[in-house]
Amino acid sequence: MTQSISLLGSTGSIGTQTLEVCRHLGIRVAALTCGRRLDTLERQIREFLPDLVSVAREEDALDLKNRLAGEFPRLEILHGRDGNLAAATLSGVTTVVAAMVGVAGLEPVLAAVRAGKTIALANKETLVAGGALVMPLLPKTGARLYPVDSEHSAIWQCLAGAPAGSLSRIFLTASGGPFRGKTRADLAAVTVEQALRHPTWAMGGKITIDSATLMNKGLEVIEAAWLFDCPVDQIEVVVHPQSIIHSMVELNDGSVLAQLGFPDMKLPIQLALTWPERQVSLEPRYNPFDPRTTSLTFSPPDTDTFRLLELAYIAARTGGTLPAVLNTANEAAVELFLSGRIGFLDIAARVEACLEQHERSGWQREFDFAAIMELDHWARQQIFSGI
């Protein structure tokens, strides 16, 4: 079982739930990083007593030092890129929980892999943008990568006892988000507040909007292809509004295996921290005879209305730098939507235009980390300028 962790993204939804699991199991928290939620971070420092913390900006690091006023003389307070990398490679840490949002999480994960850490991966953008960089490094360094997303954890659990090479298909379940069954006309006037009302999961703003557009599921398709070495066309998205079955796999003998549970992230977080052991969980126990969960339904996604899911499949099939541009373009478009500067349907329209421009002007089959960062800057400019 994990003995100590560095938690990258400690004040977000996954980060705070990870700390609940650490509190429950007595896991040592050696490092915490966050953006600008200093009040939350200060409370976490006082409870978990880490050796190192990092925040986004230098001025916030100075503010935090003033708040703590020498109370924790051994605590190292850093900021920015250097702080994230220091936390990801901290000596004595056995597991790095990667819960940062967006492509900013890629470089710390690469550093942790090079340092031979175990990675509990909750940042799907890491593999969407940089799967070609991360996955080949794992066997070279002895690092291990365990998925934290509930869907990928479910697939991992279903495959744990399956013979190598026996995977036939992955059924990646989706709640359908708050707009399941709606038409494009219905979505034209969607507000930010409506898009943030997810029916089954409590998540941060960016991932909640991604769930409303079904882009979250598209990113998960790409992540699953990397995690399980599965061709993208053998990964099928299935709308399952109850969010009880977290995903299913079909094996080559026709058997279909599923993992079930209430929509709560603490079980997949805990499993990534304790594998191959299983400990008693904080997650509520699932009762198949509970009248709330006796009816489980499935349907195909509407990719005409929710265009981003189809764009994710297109990017995955093309490969190269297209998934990285897809990821960044979506991040930037969601930022514009959350700030009220574009409409809900404009997210997909801008992402698609950006992908088309990239295919015409700069698509690459081979790339390195520097190229991803250059494309990240380029794609953001494209989205913010209106393409």
The structure tokens 């006037």 sit at 189
pLDDT at 293 over 70: no
- CATH code reported for the domain at 4-147: 3.40.50.720
- Cα distance between residue 292 and residue 294, in whole Å: 6
pLDDT in tens, 168-210: 999 999 999 899 999 999 999 999 999 998 877 777 788 899 9
- Give the CA-trace dihedral at 234, 235, 241, 246, to 10 degrees: 110
Query: Cα dihedral sign for 260, 263, 269, 274?
Result: negative
* pLDDT(362) > 90: no
Mean pLDDT within 56-84: 95
Read off the pLDDT of residues 115-131 as tens digits, 9 standing for 90 and up. Answer: 999 999 999 889 999 99
Q: Where are the domains of the chain?
A: 4-147, 164-262+290-318
Three-state secondary structure of the chain: CCCEEEEECCCCHHHHHHHHHHHHHCCEEEEEECCCCHHHHHHHHHHHCCCEEEECCHHHHHHHHHHHCCCCCCCEEEEHHHHHHHHHCCCCCCEEEECCCCHHHHHHHHHHHHCCCEEEECCCHHHHHHHHHHCCHHHHHCCEEEECCHHHHHHHHHHCCCCCCCEEEEEEEECCCCCCCCCHHHHCCCCHHHHCCCCCCCCCHHHHHHHHHCHHHHHHHHHHHHHCCCCHHHEEEEECCCCCEEEEEEECCCCEEEEECCCCCHHHHHHHHHCCCCCCCCCCCCCCCCCCCCCCCCECCCCCCCHHHHHHHHHHHHCCCHHHHHHHHHHHHHHHHHCCCCCHHHHHHHHHHHHHHHHHHCCCCCCCHHHHHHHHHHHHHHHHCCC
Mean pLDDT of 154-177: 96
Q: What is the pLDDT of residue 387?
A: 58
pTM of the model: 0.94
Question: Could you tell me which residue, 1 or 146, shows the higher pLDDT?
Answer: 146
Q: What is the pLDDT of residues 29-47, one digit of tens each?
A: 999 999 999 999 999 999 9
Residue 292's pLDDT is 66
